[in-house]
């Protein structure tokens, strides 16, 4: 009688090897490295009057966000503080990103950098970048 062949045996072995490699990889990365690897998601849109930027910053306090413009570059930076993990709450793994973040955007030529406004609400940073009103550059020359 022929022995039973398990067609999934090799797949289970491969899965075990990959799983153990991932566990070693997670253990090899120090906590401080995990804390600095994140970039917030950004949505951008525009209309005739302004550009709008929405930055997802759940868990980031308003005081921990910095928005500035320098040399026509809009920089959004800050830090999300690490939540203290309580062992008795049954945490097995934490996948939230903590630490410093920064996103930079080159402003369009028609952006009015002097009138940019920012508002943080419900874990989202809303930035409004008004467009410069185009003025007629035609000057009537008086004939003498």
Confidence (pLDDT) at 73: 92
Confidence (pLDDT) at 59: 85
For 62, phi then psi, to 5°, come to: -55, -40
Domain residues of the chain, as ranges?
34-130
State the DSSP string of 75-130: EEEEEEPPPPPPGGGT--------EEEEEEEEPPTTB-GGG-EEEEETTEEEEEEE
Lateral strand order in the sheet of 117-121: 42-46, 50-56, 124-130, 117-121
Confidence of residue 15 (pLDDT cuts 50, 70, 90): confident
Residues 97-119: what's their mean pLDDT?
Answer: 89
pTM > 0.75: yes or no: no
Does residue 130 register a pLDDT over 90? yes
Does residue 95 register a pLDDT over 80? no
For 40, phi then psi, to 5°, come to: -70, 150
Does residue 35 register a pLDDT over 60? no
Fold of 34-130: Immunoglobulin-like (2.60.40)
Confidence (pLDDT) at 34: 47
CA distance 76 to 82: 19
Q: Are the C-beta atoms of residues 97 and 79 closer than 8 Å to each other?
A: no
């Amino acid at each position: 009688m022929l022995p039973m062949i398990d067609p999934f045996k090799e797949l289970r072995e491969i899965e075990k090897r990959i799983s153990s490699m991932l566990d070693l990889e997670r253990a090899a990365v120090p906590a401080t490295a995990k804390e600095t690897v994140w970039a917030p998601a950004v949505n951008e849109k525009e209309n005739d009057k302004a550009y709008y930027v929405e930055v997802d910053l759940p868990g980031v306090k308003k005081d921990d966000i910095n928005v500035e413009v320098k040399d026509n570059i809009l920089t959004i930076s800050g830090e999300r503080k690490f939540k203290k993990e309580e062992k008795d709450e049954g945490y097995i793994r934490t996948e939230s990103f903590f630490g410093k973040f920064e996103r930079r955007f080159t402003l369009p030529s028609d952006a009015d950098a002097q009138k940019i406004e920012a508002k943080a609400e419900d874990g989202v940073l809303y930035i409004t970048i008004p467009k410069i009103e185009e003025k007629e550059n035609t000057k009537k020359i008086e004939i003498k």
